[in-house]
Amino acid sequence: MRETIGGRGVLEGAFALLEALNERGGQAGLTQLVRATGLPKTTVHRLLDQLADLGAVERAGRGYRIGSRVFRLGRFWQPEIRDIAKEWLPVLSARMRASLVLVVPREGRALVAAGAVLPADEVPVSPGSPLPPGTAAGRLLAAHHSALAEPDTDALEIRAAGYAAESETITAGLGCAAVGIRTPDGRVGAALAAVVPVHRDPVSAVAGLASTARSFSAALAHLVSGTDGQ
The DSSP 8-state label assigned to residue 39 in this structure reads: -
39 and 104: one domain?
no
Does any domain span residue 2?
no
**Selection from 189, 100, 193 nearest residue 148 by Cα:** 189
Does any domain span residue 116?
yes
Q: At which of 18, 45, 72 does a domain end?
A: 72
53 and 99: one domain?
no
Contact 145, 168 (CB under 8 A): no
Cα(132)–Cα(112) distance, integer angstroms: 11
Instruction: Count structural domains, the chain.
Output: 2
197 and 110: one domain?
yes
∠35-37-41 over CA atoms, to 5°? 65
Q: At which of 27, 50, 72 does a domain end?
A: 72
**Selection from 61, 10, 52 nearest residue 32 by Cα:** 61
Full residue range of the structural domain in which residue 156 is found: 79-228
Q: What's 107's domain CATH number?
A: 3.30.450.40
Cα(83)–Cα(45) distance, integer angstroms: 38
- Tens-of-pLDDT digits for all 230 residues of the chain? 334 454 457 888 898 998 888 888 888 999 999 999 999 999 999 999 999 999 999 998 889 998 888 877 776 666 677 778 888 888 888 888 888 999 988 888 888 888 888 877 777 677 778 888 889 999 999 999 887 755 567 888 999 999 999 998 888 888 999 999 998 888 899 999 999 988 889 999 999 999 989 988 888 777 656 554 44
Does any domain span residue 147?
yes
Residue 68 pLDDT: 85
Q: What is the DSSP string of 47-98?
A: HHHHHHHTTSEEEETTEEEE-HHHHHHHTTSSHHHHHHHHHHHHHHHHHHTS
182 and 124: one domain?
yes
Cα(164)–Cα(141) distance, integer angstroms: 9
Q: What's 37's domain CATH number?
A: 1.10.10.10
Q: At which of 47, 72, 97 does a domain end?
A: 72
**Selection from 35, 34, 25 nearest residue 60 by Cα:** 25
Stated pTM of the model: 0.72
Number of helices (H), then strands (E), belonging to the chain: the values are 8, 8
| Residue 148 CB contacts under 8 Å (≥ 6 apart), including other chains | 105, 108, 109, 110, 138, 141, 142
51 and 94: one domain?
no
22 and 116: one domain?
no
Cα(127)–Cα(113) distance, integer angstroms: 5
